[in-house]
């Protein structure tokens, strides 16, 4: 759409605006509900970083239905901010259960947290059913005067 048409369309329809070329209603509090475009097919990737340190603020089952990865990295290590979020880890199980194919998935936590340990223990049977493996690592990387836990990933 030429720029002058785009500008006219937003002026001639003051109750609506365009976001990424899609008409939305700014009065709506939920941007997901205002999108009128149907979702496309899922995206398959080798490695995906779970957004925002695995916080429930940005990631839900829809993420795992749409972004299908062989490896998901969980980097959260801030219990006070809900990182990693148990709800996001549960969303992985819910999303993966709807894939319709039993592809191997590996979850890579970068920190050993109480949330990930409890989730692992409480959902282990479901993980096995869904072909999800959780890497545990006691490796430590030392750089200069700092040391931190790490996982090695090979493809």
Cβ neighbour number for residue 53 with a 10 Å cutoff: 22
Closest CA to 70 of 19, 41, 107: 107
Q: Give residue 40's pLDDT.
A: 83
Q: pTM score, two decimals?
A: 0.65
The per-residue pLDDT for range 94-142, each reduced to its tens digit, is 999 999 888 999 998 888 888 888 999 999 999 999 999 998 766 677 8
The per-residue pLDDT for range 47-106, each reduced to its tens digit, is 999 887 676 777 888 999 999 999 998 887 776 766 688 999 999 999 999 998 889 999
Q: Residues 5-20: what's their mean pLDDT?
A: 44
Q: Cis before residue 76, ω within 30 degrees of 0? A: no
Q: Give residue 10's pLDDT.
A: 43
Q: Which two tokens stand for residue 40?
A: 């496309």
First vs last C-alpha separation in the chain: 43
């Amino acid at each position: 759409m030429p720029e002058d048409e785009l500008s006219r369309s937003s002026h001639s329809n003051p109750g609506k605006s365009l976001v990424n070329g899609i008409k939305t209603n700014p009065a709506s509090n939920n941007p997901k509900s205002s999108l009128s475009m149907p979702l496309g097919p899922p995206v398959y990737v080798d490695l995906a970083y779970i957004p925002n340190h695995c916080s429930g603020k940005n990631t839900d089952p829809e993420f795992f239905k749409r972004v299908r990865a062989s490896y998901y990295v969980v980097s959260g290590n801030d219990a006070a901010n809900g990182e990693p979020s148990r709800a996001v880890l549960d969303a992985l199980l819910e999303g993966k259960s709807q894939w319709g194919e039993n592809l191997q998935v590996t979850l890579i936590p970068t920190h050993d947290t109480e949330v990930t340990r409890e989730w692992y223990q409480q959902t282990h049977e479901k993980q096995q059913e869904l072909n999800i493996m959780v890497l545990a690592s006691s490796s430590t990387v030392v750089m200069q005067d700092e040391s931190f836990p790490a996982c090695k990933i090979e493809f």
